[in-house]
Amino acid sequence: MEYYNKVIESVGVRYTRGNNYKVERPITVTDYLEPENTVILLHQGTLKFGDEQELVNEGEILFIPAGRACKVSFGQATKRNEMSNNSFLENKKKHLQSVSFKDIKSIEEDCITLVTFEAKVFDVVNFFNSLGIPPFIIRFNDRLASIIEDVVKESEQNTPGKERVIKIHTELLVVELVRHILKNRLFVEEMSTNSTYFKDPRLIDMFNYIKKNIGGDLSNKILAKVANVSEDYVGQYFKMLTGINPQDYIEYQRMEAAVELLRTTKKSIRDIGKEVGYKDTAYFCRRFKMMYGLPAGKMRRRESLINVQ
């Protein structure tokens, strides 16, 4: 159990979107695909998934891991109502119409709540996808259904602290998903086979060191000492387990830290660059623009406008 606690602590969670929909026109999406993890709570009507078109009962939840294509039917769709995911995205509004929670009880049509979110181990590995878990139905879990509803209810509000509350609810959502999988002993073989890299304490030590020393020396020489491997091998070792070069990962983390400081402080661009590990302000600004497509100053102004709205 201690192992799973460490895994959960290492997973970074980010809410991406959530909404309630009524099904205007039944549709079967033959290769439904989201870049993020997706939970679909069925309030009423018909929801099916997979090649066998397994039925989701009202009050149950369909979970689709990030990047996993899956056949999904919204409403009582027939063979004539099938289309690809690309066609569905182009015509989504014809099939699914957004509704608020206060309107759900009065709707007679099929009705769902859909939430998508990221869950990445130290912002690198898509957690559920990496475990090889297929789409599945979550049955008899009122707590998880309630959390999904709370996420979207909060997203419909325009009150102080909205983003923080959504973040808390989304983190709870991920914890409850993992608990549900463990409690019901689902996908035991997949998890034991595909989660071995989480068990390497040297990798976790490196992630923690990078997080705590984001503005300091994070050269391969330092990382090698942290992981107790040779300097020549540490880059290969890191990439073998995560799929990314350690210095690329470090730069991503530094830029994400810079964005957070731009959003939450009035520190100068120069001071922010130094705080996240860049002694040369001009170099920091060039790398920032290359990564995000706009200068740090414009990013700050954009974030300020978003927060006001």
Same domain, 128 and 232: no
Domain that holds residue 141: 1-193
Predicted pLDDT of residue 197? 61
Interacting residues of 15 by C-beta distance below 8 A, sequence separation 6+: 115, 117, 151, 166, 167, 169, 170
What's the pLDDT band for 126 if we cut at 50, 70, 90? confident
User: Over pLDDT 70: what percentage of the chain?
Assistant: 92
Q: Are residues 271 and 279 in contact, defined by beta-carbon separation less than 8 angstroms?
A: no
Residue 305 lies in a domain: no
| CATH number where 266 lies | 1.10.10.60
Q: Are residues 36 and 65 in contact, defined by beta-carbon separation less than 8 angstroms?
A: no
Residue 309 lies in a domain: no
Interacting residues of 89 by C-beta distance below 8 A, sequence separation 6+: none
Q: Residue 30: in which H helix or E strand, if any?
A: strand 27-32
Same domain, 132 and 227: no
Mean pLDDT (whole number) for 247-252: 91
pTM of the model: 0.73
Indicate if the pLDDT at residue 297 is higher than 80.
yes
Interacting residues of 121 by C-beta distance below 8 A, sequence separation 6+: 7, 10, 11, 12, 127, 130, 198
Half-sphere exposure of 154 (CA within 13 A, CB side): 20
Same domain, 142 and 261: no
Same domain, 182 and 230: no
Which of 193, 216, 243 is the last residue before a domain boundary?
Answer: 193
Q: How far apart are CA 32 and CA 172, in angstroms?
A: 25
Same domain, 176 and 115: yes
126 vs 161, higher pLDDT: 161
Residue 240 lies in a domain: yes
Which of 193, 223, 247 is the last residue before a domain boundary?
Answer: 193
Indicate if the pLDDT at residue 74 is higher than 60.
yes
Same domain, 108 and 242: no
Indicate if the pLDDT at residue 23 is higher than 90.
yes
Same domain, 31 and 16: yes
Chain position carrying tokens 């790398």? 287
Predicted pLDDT of residue 194? 66
Q: Is 277 helix (H, G, I), strand (E, B) or coil?
A: coil
Which of 193, 219, 251 is the last residue before a domain boundary?
Answer: 193
Q: Are residues 141 and 176 in contact, defined by beta-carbon separation less than 8 angstroms?
A: yes
Same domain, 53 and 158: yes
Residue 306 lies in a domain: no
Residue 303 lies in a domain: no
Query: Tokens at residue 124, please?
Result: 């690198």
Same domain, 63 and 131: yes
Same domain, 269 and 181: no
Same domain, 206 and 136: no
pLDDT in tens, 201-242: 788 788 889 989 999 999 999 999 999 999 999 999 988 877
User: Over pLDDT 90: what percentage of the chain?
Assistant: 61
Average pLDDT of the chain is 88
* CA nearest to 170, candidates 302, 40, 13: 13
296 vs 46, higher pLDDT: 46
Residue 176 lies in a domain: yes
Indicate if the pLDDT at residue 248 is higher than 80.
yes
pLDDT in tens, 83-107: 999 999 999 999 999 999 888 878 8
For the ranges 232-241, 244-253, 268-277, the one whose mean pLDDT is highest:
268-277
Q: How far apart are CA 277 and CA 256, in angstroms?
A: 12
Chain position carrying tokens 């990047």? 67
Residue 92 lies in a domain: yes
Q: Are residues 242 and 263 in contact, defined by beta-carbon separation less than 8 angstroms?
A: no
Indicate if the pLDDT at residue 290 is higher than 60.
yes
What's the domain count of the chain? 2
Same domain, 32 and 150: yes
Mean pLDDT (whole number) for 159-166: 93
56 vs 207, higher pLDDT: 56
Query: Tokens at residue 70, please?
Result: 């899956």
Interacting residues of 298 by C-beta distance below 8 A, sequence separation 6+: none
Give the end-to-end CA distance of the chain in Å, rounded to a whole number: 43
Rounded to 10°, the helix 201-212/2-10 angle is: 40
Predicted pLDDT of residue 29? 96
Predicted pLDDT of residue 200? 76
Residue 244 lies in a domain: yes
Predicted pLDDT of residue 191? 72
